Amino acid sequence: MRPSRAARLVGATGPVPSAHSTPVSLTEESTDTWDVLKARLAGDYAVDDFGFDPQFTDRVLMQLVRPLYRHWFRVQVSGIESIPSDSGALVVANHSGTIAFDSVMTQVAVHDEHPAHRNLRMLGANLVFQTPFLGDLARRAGHTLACHEDAERLLSSGEIVGVWPEGFKGIGKPFAERYRLQRFGRGGFVSAAVRTKTPIIPTAIVGAEEIYPMIADASVIARVLGLPYFPITPTFPALGALGLVPLPSKWLIHFDDPIQTDHLPEGAADDPAVLFEITDQVRERIQRTLYDLLAERGGVFG
């Protein structure tokens, strides 16, 4: 049973039916994707103020990566109940893997595994938004600039926001340092959560470290290309485009119990001591969960 086209357009900002919740035949699913694409070509759709296009994200972008999620990385999710159904929360996760597949997989996990099919609104570096095509795609998928204005606006309007506070230090670290959390910036994400009184959900992702094991960083090439790093892996650039195929590691994602911030006194968001303490707590929880998940996983390829 498919909603009418008009109903789907009206519902553009509400929860979007997912492949998990409504079992549909293969042909119907593909027609739906086709309809969404046709509406995009005709300009007949709505984006929110951040440029988020929920239908395009669900029916086209996520549809492209779902095979990777289900069959290649075989992502196993636990603790999804930590994410609230109808209010805001800040998902804070470890970052790794040379290319940010971990954030994409987390977005699929939050949307497809959560009963309310929440959209994960990620915060990205300004480098993302000044890059042609990439910045555009990121906005369409619901991501926005990592700045306190956007974080607080999304959280206070009840969205699930995702941050990867290690940034390029995490994603571009050598393979030898896998599963060792890097420094967490200035903890700006904590102050956004405290100011909006939303819970922080420490999230550990195991599996992304092994998709492109970075054995060296060609920093000269990186500088020439204006990139934060240029990875050398066992297969890239040696095997050319084939080296871009990620290794099929087994993934586990765990959303840990929320850290509440609504009991903190007024002004806590500007108190560095409070912010550092919560930042440490989040970091420590993610690190501990990473070790637990690694033990649980056993072999790299499951």
Interface residue list for other proteins (CB under 8 A): 42-43, 45-51, 126, 129-136, 139, 144-145, 147, 149-150, 153
Nearest to 85 by CA among 203, 207, 199: 199
Compute the least distance from the CB of residue 246 to other proteins, in Å. 24
| Distance of closest approach, residue 12 Cβ to other proteins, in angstroms | 11
Closer Cβ to other proteins, 149 or 277, answer by number: 149
Nearer to other proteins, 148 or 178 (CB): 148
Nearest distance from C-beta of residue 134 to other proteins, angstroms = 8
Structure tokens at 61: 């972008």
Nearer to other proteins, 56 or 229 (CB): 56
Cα–Cα distance, 159 to 118 (Å, whole number) = 8
Q: How far is the CB of 35 from other proteins (least distance, A)?
A: 17
Nearest approach in angstroms of CB 123 to other proteins is 11
In 113-139, which positions are buried (b, 16+ CB within 10 angstroms) versus exposed (e)?
bbeebbbbbbbbeeebbeeeeebeebb
Cβ proximity to other proteins, 135 vs 170, nearer residue: 135
For the bound state, the minimum distance from the C-beta of residue 138 to other proteins, rounded and expressed in Å, comes to 11
Q: Residue 127 or 247: which CB sits closer to other proteins?
A: 127
Decide: residue 4, CB within 10 A, 0-12 exposed, 13-18 middle, 19+ buried: exposed
Of the pair 193, 293, the CB lying nearest other proteins is at 193
**Distances in Å between the alpha carbon of 290 and those of 46, 103, 260, 296?**
39, 16, 21, 10
Asked whether 87 and 199 are in contact (CB, 8 A), the reply is: no
Tokens of 214: 């970075």
H/E stretch holding 258? none
Which of 128, 151, 148, 152 is CA-nearest to residue 140?
128
